[in-house]
Amino acid sequence: MKKIIFYFINFLLLASCATAPLEISDDDTKLRMIGGKEALLNDIEYPEYALTHGIEGLVTVLAYVDTSGSVRQCKILEGNELLNEAAKTALEKQHFYPYILEGMKRSVQVAIPISFSISRDINVYEFDKERIMAFSKGYMNEPVKTLSTYSSTRSPGSKNDYYSESLTWWPKPDNPYLPYMIKEGEINPNAFIKHKELLEKFGEIVPGLTATYLITNNKVYAQKAIEHIKAWFIDPETRMLPNLNYAQAIPYRTIGRSVGILEGLPLIEVIQSLQYLEKFLSEEERIIIDRWLHDYVHFLEHGDYSEYLMHGKNNYSTAWLLQLSIIAKYLDDKELMRNALDYFQQHTLSFTLDDNYFYLDQKWNRDLEFNIFFMTDMMAIEVEVLKDKGVNIWRELYFNGKRVGDLINYQYSGILNNNLKTAGHYDGRFLSLLFAGKAYDNPRYLELWRNLQIGEPKESEFPIRQPVLWIK
């Protein structure tokens, strides 16, 4: 059976008083539907004839809402005769919070355009092909650069050690060799971030080339990706040592910090790419890479910041787990996968799905440490990694009666109802909506994901960008 999707284009609100209507801007928040836009979506039934004949369209309904918030009358302003009645009937079932103006409840009339469209599943290969190809030429021309290309005299490590500095810490004017001091909100232009930029670029180039290889079947893209892989993981002169001991350092104060674990996230899609690229490596090269990954796991489990990250309840601990899990999956380390799954179920779910924690609090959930968009995308990738080992976390794991899907639905509802503003708070691809849409067979998630991809192709800041690497 075909699935359906409805979504709102916008709300056009006209408030009326006893004498004449009062015009209100379309982003007015005083009139809100109880249950949000989902309530109306749930009450709309696509007319069978229109569905079977592929008829889509826009219906604009003018609803008169009294001072109690009840819908008293609906009138079709424009639409399609096969769709009009379904839109009108559903809207008549809704209730609104009373519209308050200058301390008084007011009756209003609300013009609501509703789009009827028949949902079609998203073929990620076809959907993303143009975007992937738009970047492929640039990736092919990128020179191979690793940590050894740049160095800092303030790094306590070797040329192969990753090193980065916190941006908001500054040297003291009278003596630059004393412990740096913090200046909140002020960026130190001399902070060393070259290694961070190089690792981010590595995490962009290799997955981008691998994605191009998958959609074109042209091995020249895979071979170019292998050049970068060898330089970062194999060549002793240029390879990165498998740790982030010196990430987010504060000069003369601390040689590294636990928050630097976020800077390892670009490795996620590089490691995911390896399953498609390993046939272009020799057996000896694969062994060297496997050893590198084992050593990085040792850093994650026994490094200076491991204890803090294991017990953290924030995006840092989830980034730590995601790096551990993707390596366990690639190495087919069953014990490590079991440990990661147990940790995810007993720890990660317990705080991300807690109604009283920061992720469901709009005063906090767009800050970096508890950013809801960042977390849901990481959670979705984590679920995709762990479910491959026989447990469908999307459907089978619960905490206090809630699943991962409830966190993603909170995000979906927030974006749909304009309660969670994305602009300025997140520059990712909202892959959680795509993965959850497919996992739960939910066309509304897929449609919102599709709409969020509209615009000029650009690489997101969130370092997991290529759904073709994850969706078979």
The predicted-structure confidence for 376-387, as pLDDT tens digits, reads as follows 999 999 999 998
The Cβ-side half-sphere exposure at 312, using a 13 Å CA radius, reads 19
* Closest to 193 in 3D by CA, of 212, 215, 167, 211: 167
Q: 168, 182 in Cβ contact below 8 A?
A: yes
* Closest to 69 in 3D by CA, of 102, 42, 94: 94
For residue 112, the tally of other CB atoms under 10 A from its CB is 23
Q: Which fold has domain 146-303?
A: Glycosyltransferase (1.50.10)
**The pTM is what?**
0.82
User: Tokens representing 214?
Assistant: 């998958």
β-bridge mates for residue 175, sequence order: 172
Tokens 């836009």 correspond to 37
Q: 170, 178 in Cβ contact below 8 A?
A: no
Please list the pLDDT of the chain residue by residue as tens digits (472 residues). 444 544 444 444 444 444 444 555 445 678 888 877 777 877 888 898 988 888 989 999 999 999 999 998 899 999 999 999 999 999 999 999 899 988 889 988 888 888 887 777 899 999 999 999 999 999 999 999 999 999 999 999 999 999 999 999 999 999 999 999 999 989 999 999 999 999 999 999 999 999 999 999 999 999 999 999 999 999 999 999 999 999 999 999 999 999 999 999 999 999 999 999 999 999 999 999 999 999 999 999 999 999 999 999 999 999 999 999 999 999 999 999 999 999 999 999 999 888 888 888 877 777 778 888 999 999 999 999 998 656 778 888 888 888 898 899 889 988 887 778 777 778 889 999 999 999 988 888 998 999 898 776 667 788 899 999 999 7
- Spell out where 81-194 has E strands: 99-101, 104-106, 108-118, 163-165, 169-170, 181-182
CATH 3.40.50.1370 fits 4-118, yes or no: no
- Domain positions in the chain: 4-118, 146-303, 312-472
- Phi first, then psi, for residue 66 (nearest 5°) are -85, -175
Q: What is the CA radius of gyration of the chain?
A: 26
Q: 277, 218 in Cβ contact below 8 A?
A: no
Buried b (16+ CB within 10 A) or exposed e, 191-214: bbbebbebbbbbbbbbbbbbbbbb
Same CATH fold, 146-303 and 4-118? Answer: no
